Amino acid sequence: MKLKLLEKFRQIQMHSFLKNNVFSISFGTSLSKLAGCLRQIFIAAAFGVGVTYDAFNYAYIIPGFLLIIIGGINGPLHNAVVAVLTPLNKKNGGIVLTQVSIKLSILLIGLAILIYFNSSLLIELLAPNLSYETKSIATHQLKILTPCIPLSGFIGLSFGALNSQRKFFLSSISPAITSLTIIFFILFSWIFNQENAYFHFFTYKGLLAFATLTGTLIQFVVQIWEINKIGLLRLEATINLFKDEERRIFKLIIPASISSGLSQINVFIDMFFASSFKGAASGLAYGNFLIQAPLGILSNSLILPLLPKFSKLRSEKDKRGLQKKLISGVEYCFLTAIFLTGFFITFNNQIVQLVFQRGSFDYSATLKVKNILIAYAVGIPFYIYRDLLVRTYYSIEKTNFPFKSSFAGIIFNIFFDWVLIGAPVKNFGNLSPYNFGVVGIILSSVIVNLIVCILLSFNLRNEDIHLPNLDLLRKISLMSLAAFIDSTLCFTILQTTNNFNSNLSEFLLLIFGTLTFFVIYFLLTKFLKVNKFKVSKKEI
Per-residue pLDDT band at 296 (split at 50, 70, 90): confident
pLDDT value for 482: 95
- Mean pLDDT in residue range 84-105: 71
Centroid of chain to Cα 421: 25
- Mean pLDDT in residue range 72-92: 63
Percent of the chain past pLDDT 70, that is, above it, reads 76
pLDDT 10s digits, 172-185: 777 889 999 999 99
Per-residue pLDDT band at 144 (split at 50, 70, 90): very high
- Mean pLDDT in residue range 374-384: 93
pLDDT value for 540: 31
pLDDT value for 12: 39
Q: What is the average pLDDT value for the chain, to the nearest integer?
A: 80
pLDDT value for 204: 66
Rounded CA gap, 118 and 256, in Å? 27
**pTM of the entire predicted model:** 0.81
Q: What is the rounded end-to-end Cα distance, in angstroms, of the chain?
A: 35
pLDDT 10s digits, 469-479: 889 999 999 99
Per-residue pLDDT band at 96 (split at 50, 70, 90): confident
- Domain map (residue ranges) of the chain: 22-261, 276-530
Q: Is pLDDT at 93 greater than 80 in this prediction? A: no
Residue 69 · residue 76 · CB < 8 Å: yes
Q: Is pLDDT at 401 greater than 50 in this prediction? A: yes
Residue type at position 166: R
Q: Is pLDDT at 22 greater than 60 in this prediction? A: no
pLDDT value for 6: 42
Torsion on CA atoms 289, 55, 71, 413, rounded to nearest 10: 70
- Mean pLDDT in residue range 486-495: 86
- Mean pLDDT in residue range 308-331: 80
pLDDT 10s digits, 403-462: 788 888 899 999 999 999 998 887 777 888 888 999 999 999 999 999 999 999 999 888
Compare 314 and 24 and report the one with higher pLDDT: 314
- Mean pLDDT in residue range 229-235: 67
CB-count burial class (<10 Å; 0-12, 13-18, 19+) for 278: middle
CB-count burial class (<10 Å; 0-12, 13-18, 19+) for 6: exposed
